[in-house]
Amino acid sequence: MADSKIAKNKIPELIKAVSADYTLYGPKAEAGIVALGRIHSAEELMLDYRNSTISAKELFLPRAEVVYEFDGQKFVDDKLPDEKRVIFGIRPCDCRALALLDRNFDTDEVKDPFYVTRRQNTIVVALGCNQPLSSCFCTAVGGGPFGQEGADVLMGDVGDSLLAKAITSKGKDFLARYGKFFSTAGSGSWDKQAKEARDKMSAAPTLIKPAFGGSELNIENLKSHLDNLFEDEIWETISCKCLGCGACSYLCPVCYCFDLVDEKTASGIKKIRTWDCCMFSMFTHHASGHNPRSANFARLRQKIMHKFNYYTERYGVNGCVGCGRCIRSCPVNLDIRQVLEKIAAAPSATKEK
């Protein structure tokens, strides 16, 4: 398949054409942050950004959504989110996060119809990263600045134009449909761009490399370290400064724990699914008053274990894409890379159970 490219000055036309067929979402400046919101015109779209504050998770697992309505006698018909959407310009880490979320919400045994419908009805057009932030560590957890997982189309910024490559058949159809805005690009330019970006990541100092002896986290090693560390005192030391505020989980593109609450309305009741966080003190609080995770360190342990042990055990991949939002947003600068480094260095990690 020949790679395509689109001149940057043609992007407004592309946006206009896509907006006529789909509801378009992308990065935009909004009240002091970069949000992933509705794009009504090309001027709103901001492709010259590092990463959005809130991740693409919000577009598939909204912060609050109604999962059913009951009027006292019968249920109101389920309305599945059938909006046909294009998300334009999100980063490969956020795309990879979608692929990781799929493992939880779209299985053979049980599917979440709201999430699955949104995934089916959305085309994801990603934009690769030419310049990592100091908090980025996607390559250490199995991703990369030009990673393809979770994207339908992947684009790369080469200055005056964007390269574009179809990853899935959905992406192929998208590029074909709007083919008149694209021209062919030499296949060499794509590889060059991707390699340059990856080299930058390798050169960037990231805390995890020395700890795990290589540029990538050895998932199996990390999991087996954690297997032996459940009872360790390391969690109390690590969690000293953690406020249990939950900002990390809310901004994390993979964290998905949710709550189901009832809300009364004038005409009946609504059941609402909302974001929740294992770091909140009431998360595992039983009606009897018992709380298996009453201590802060137990909750931080759960968060790390869930991402790097339990998720790996259930789905074969860990639950982190290395986007660094948690590192930037943590009010006390609790750096997950430092946590993983401490875990790797913990002495009891090498003991036999």
Partner 1 sequence: MTAVEEEIRKTTADLLAEGKADIVIGFAAGSLPMRATPCFITEPEAAQQLVWNSYCLNNLAVYLPGYFVPAPSLKEEKPAPKVAIVVKGCDGRSVVGLIKERQILRENLIIIAAPCEGMLDVDITQELVGTNEIVCAQEKNGEVTITDEMGKKTKFSRKELLAESCRFCKHRAAPVYDIAVGELPQSKDALAPDNRFEEFLKKSSAERWEQFSREISKCVLCNACRSACPNCYCKVCFADQTRPNWTGSGGELRDVISYHLGRMFHQAGRCVDCGACVRACSMGVDLRTFTYKLVEDAGELFDYTAGLDLEHVPPLMDFNASDSDSFITEPE
Partner 2 sequence: MPQKKSDTIVKNPYRPILTTIEKITVENEAKDLKTFRLVFCSDEEANDFHFQYGQFAELTVFGIGECPIGIASSPMDREFLEFTVKRYPDGLVTNALHNCSVGTRIGVRGPLGNCFPMEQMTGRNVVIVGGGFAFTTLRSTIRYILHEANRAKFGNLTLVYGARSPGELLYKDELKEWEAREDIETHITVDKGDESWTGKEGFVPTVLEHVAPSPKDAIVLVCGPPIMLKFTLPVLTKLGFEPGEIITSLEMRMKCGIGLCGRCNIGSKYVCRDGPVFTYEQLQALPAEM
C-beta closer to partner 2: residue 105 or 190: 105
Q: Does 210 bind partner 1 (CB under 8 A)?
A: no
Task: Find the part of the chain contacting partner 1 (CB under 8 A) among 92-100, 105-113, 219-227, 239-247.
Answer: 239-247
Sign of the torsion formed by the C-alpha atoms of 213, 216, 217 and 221:
negative
Tally Cβ neighbours within 10 Å of residue 52.
26
> How far apart (Å, rounded) are the C-alpha atoms in residues 195 and 228?
37
Query: Which residue of 17, 158, 245, 317 would you call a contact of partner 1, by CB under 8 A?
Result: 245
* CA dihedral of 146, 149, 150, 155, whole degrees rounded to 10: 20
Query: Which residue of 153, 251, 304, 305 would you call a contact of partner 1, by CB under 8 A?
Result: 251
Q: Does 282 bind partner 1 (CB under 8 A)?
A: yes
C-beta closer to partner 2: residue 48 or 108: 108
C-beta closer to partner 1: residue 8 or 50: 50
Query: Of partner 2, partner 1, none, which one does residue 76 interact with (CB within 5 to 8 Å by kind)?
Result: none
Q: Are 51 and 325 in contact (CB under 8 A)?
A: yes
Query: Of partner 1, partner 2, none, which one does residue 246 interact with (CB within 5 to 8 Å by kind)?
Result: partner 1
DSSP character at residue 240: T
> How far apart (Å, rounded) are the C-alpha atoms in residues 337 and 207?
6
Q: Are 326 and 336 in contact (CB under 8 A)?
A: yes
Task: Find the part of the chain contacting partner 1 (CB under 8 A) among 83-91, 174-182, 244-252, 308-316.
Answer: 244-252
The count of residues in the chain is 353
Q: How far is the CB of 323 from partner 1 (least distance, A)?
A: 14
Size of residue set near partner 1 by CB under 8 A:
50
C-beta closer to partner 2: residue 31 or 264: 264
Query: Of partner 1, partner 2, none, which one does residue 240 interact with (CB within 5 to 8 Å by kind)?
Result: partner 1
Q: What are the residues binding partner 2 (CB under 8 A)?
A: 67-68, 70, 72-75, 78, 104-105, 109-113, 116-117, 230-231, 256-262, 264, 268-269, 271, 273, 276, 278, 283-289, 292-293, 298, 302, 305-306, 309-310, 313-314
Kindly identify the residues of this chain, within the stretch 58-117, that bind partner 1 according to CB under 8 A: 63-64
The token duo for 125 is 């057009």
Q: Does 291 bind partner 1 (CB under 8 A)?
A: yes
Pairs from 326-333 (Cβ < 8 Å, separation ≥ 24): 326/247, 326/248, 326/249, 326/251, 326/252, 327/135, 328/133, 328/135, 329/247, 329/248, 329/251, 330/247, 330/248, 331/243, 331/245, 331/247, 332/241, 332/242, 332/243
> How far apart (Å, rounded) are the C-alpha atoms in residues 222 and 317?
12
